[in-house]
Amino acid sequence: MNGNYAFVVDRDSVGVAGTALRPLQVALLGFGTVGRSVTRILVERPELGGRLQLTHVFNRGVSRKRADWVPESVTWTEDLDELFASDPDVIVEVVGGVRPAGDWVRRALERGISVVTANKMLLAAEGPALLHLAASTGAQIRFEAAVGGGVPLVQGVREGLAGDTLTRVIGILNGTSNYVLSRMKTGDASMDAVLDEARRLGYAEADPSADIDGDDAAAKLVVLAGIAFGRHLPLAATINAARVLSTAAGLLGVGLEELDRLERRGASEEEIEDLRARLNALSDPKEPAPSKPA
């Protein structure tokens, strides 16, 4: 099995001239922050009314999740069997994580139901297998929102650059880490202080460990490698590599605190500049850390 994430949509099969097409029946797995936003788009945009129809919302503890702005025609359920029994055309998975989301996605694809997901961790762990399963049943799995959804990136690489040979991919894969490192480099603030600031501004989750430890960026990198180079990187090894880089970020935070101590105790200019150079090298891996002369 190769790890090629690319697949081709036969646009001629989408509709037949002169045939009245009904709206695609859409079922949603997960009604958290992302799920609510997806639901609003589906039920509040009139231009989608004739093309997409939300029929079911699945979530645990659904009674506390119900929203009065969702049309009464939408069925709320905690019963996954009920959702599948409705035979939707598309299932949108925004639960996150590898399990149980992966089992639900696989179940949909086995039944020939197409899936749209923003779940980068699932794609990084099982993407090739899920794509092969989709191809074998005639379903599709789409994941534009998993990596760089605001660009958008996945379709641009898979289709817009299909005739090119890519040799490398460079970019900022995690906004939280980018904000934290940028603020630490320019403001001489500690990592903990900048992270607290990022939470207040909405740039970091309440638990930012997946961002700061590198897991989020690693999963995105696996997906990008799949669509850009047709290779599936082992997720565990990629996460380990990302955590090495995140350790450098932690060292940067400690170093900035040490720099503050040096400046307050009136250390020599040579000591301060030497530490500054090392911190700059940590925040910009392209610059090797200078060796202190013997």
Q: Whose structure tokens read 């993407």?
A: 127
Active-site residue flag, 65: no
Phi, psi of 178 (to 5 degrees): -60, -45
Determine which one of 120, 185, 220, 286 is catalytic.
220
Q: Mind giving me the DSSP string for 154-184?
A: HHIIIIITTTS----------HHHHHHHHHH
For residues 154 and 146, the answer to whether their CB atoms sit within 8 Å is yes
Query: Alpha-carbon torsion 57, 61, 67, 68, what sign?
Result: positive
Residues 142 and 123 sit within 8 Å (Cβ to Cβ) = no
Smallest CA-to-CA distance from 29 within 89, 86, 76 is with 76
Active-site residue list: 220
